[in-house]
Amino acid sequence: MTQKKTNSYTDEFREGAVKLAIESNQPVAQSARELGVNVNTLHTWINKFHGEPPPGSGKQVNDVHLYEELKQLRRENARLKEERDC
């Protein structure tokens, strides 16, 4: 039986990956593919970065992912700034 290789990532890489995933206009899954990281791993890093409580911790978390909303709001903000400056 073969063992799976466990990847080890630096904190700097994780922070950069989270920043890229949040600030880019592409889906998190696409960012994960481009970085060579499992999409679930990237979602876990994003959740840790934003301090979202783990499931079952007793705190209610909205089903809508906060980082997806943040990405949408940043895109909208950029669009509105561009419209204003024209």
Give this prediction's pTM: 0.55
C-alpha 64/C-alpha 66 separation (Å) is 6
pLDDT at position 4:
65
Please measure the distance between the N-terminal and C-terminal CA atoms of the chain and give it in whole angstroms.
Answer: 62
Residues 28-46 pLDDT 10s: 889 999 999 999 999 899 8
C-alpha 52/C-alpha 22 separation (Å) is 15
| Helix boundaries (H) for the chain | 11-23, 28-35, 39-49, 66-85
C-alpha 13/C-alpha 47 separation (Å) is 15
pLDDT at position 54:
55
* Residue 65 C-alpha from the chain's centroid: 9
